[in-house]
Chains A and B, each alone.
Chain A
Amino acid sequence: GAGVSQSPSNKVTEKGKDVELRCDPISGHTALYWYRQSLGQGLEFLIYFQGNSAPDKSGLPSDRFSAERTGGSVSTLTIQRTQQEDSAVYLCASSVGLASIYEQYFGPGTRLTVT
């Protein structure tokens, strides 16, 4: 079946603009995760959803970052007033259930460049 998909694959934006990144999880996966990979910070957790609820938002770097998930499926990560330090690859993953029990599968990522 289809894997995790993300769009766009690349996004270049000007400092101060808002961006939306989209993730389509594997069909039937109830848990969805956002991570970020940057040169200075490595791969870091941002937020996870169980269904449409986000029990853990502890990794979001600032209040400029928000995410939502609708219908237990698609998720959108929004970054407002982008800064150069937001430049990174944003990765989405999904799993059948909670990560404590189930394997996570990753999408190809969205490369965000803030100029």
Chain B
Amino acid sequence: GIQVEQSPPDLILQEGANSTLRCNFSDSVNNLQWFHQNPWGQLINLFYIPSGTKQNGRLSATTVATERYSLLYISSSQTTDSGVYFCAPESGNKLTFGGGTRVLVKP
């Protein structure tokens, strides 16, 4: 099956900093989603992004499907951005999740 690698595994940011999270996947995919898992465990949809670039407030994402990677940008980070970020490419009508990037934003 498809392999998904996320980097870095852990990230500590000072409030206000910018950062980039990366997701590499091993096979061609039809779509890809980014999620934020909050401290209560809820998976919150951030982006549905099979290709191209999308922006939502301080967050943006880019997927280059031909090169099998996706990037999530966090700008002007806030403490509420803390949590685990997962990318999940779709293959065979199911999502395969990476190991996540655990983000801690310090005030």
Interface size on A, residues (CB 8 A): 26
Q: Name the one of A44, A89, A100, A109 contacting B93, with C-beta atoms under 8 angstroms.
A: A100
Q: Which residue of B lies closest to A46 (CB)?
A: B94
Q: Which of A10-69 contact B (CB under 8 A)?
A: 31, 33, 35, 37, 42-45, 48, 55-56, 59
Q: Name the one of A31, A55, A98, A103 contacting B33, with C-beta atoms under 8 angstroms.
A: A103
> What 0/1 pattern do residues 58 to 97 of B give for CB contact below 8 A with A?
0000000000000000000000000000101010111111
With A89-B41, A103-B48, A105-B45: A43-B30 Cβ-Cβ less than 8 Å:
no
> What 0/1 pattern do residues 77 to 99 of A give for CB contact below 8 A with B?
00000000000010101000011
With A43-B86, A89-B41: A100-B97 Cβ-Cβ less than 8 Å:
no
Closest 3 CB pairs of A and B: A43-B97, A106-B43, A100-B30
- Are A108 and B41 in contact, CB atoms less than 8 angstroms apart? yes
In the complex the two chains form, what is the Cα distance from A52 to B46 in whole Å? Answer: 29
Interface size on B, residues (CB 8 A): 21
Could you list 17 examples of A-B contacts with CB < 8 Å?
A: A33-B95, A35-B95, A42-B97, A42-B100, A43-B88, A45-B94, A56-B93, A59-B94, A89-B41, A103-B31, A103-B33, A104-B95, A105-B45, A106-B42, A106-B43, A109-B42, A111-B41
Q: Which residue of A lies closest to B35 (CB)?
A: A106
A2: which B residues are within 8 A, CB to CB?
Answer: none
A108: which B residues are within 8 A, CB to CB?
Answer: 40-42
B86: which A residues are within 8 A, CB to CB?
Answer: 43
- Are A33 and B97 in contact, CB atoms less than 8 angstroms apart? no
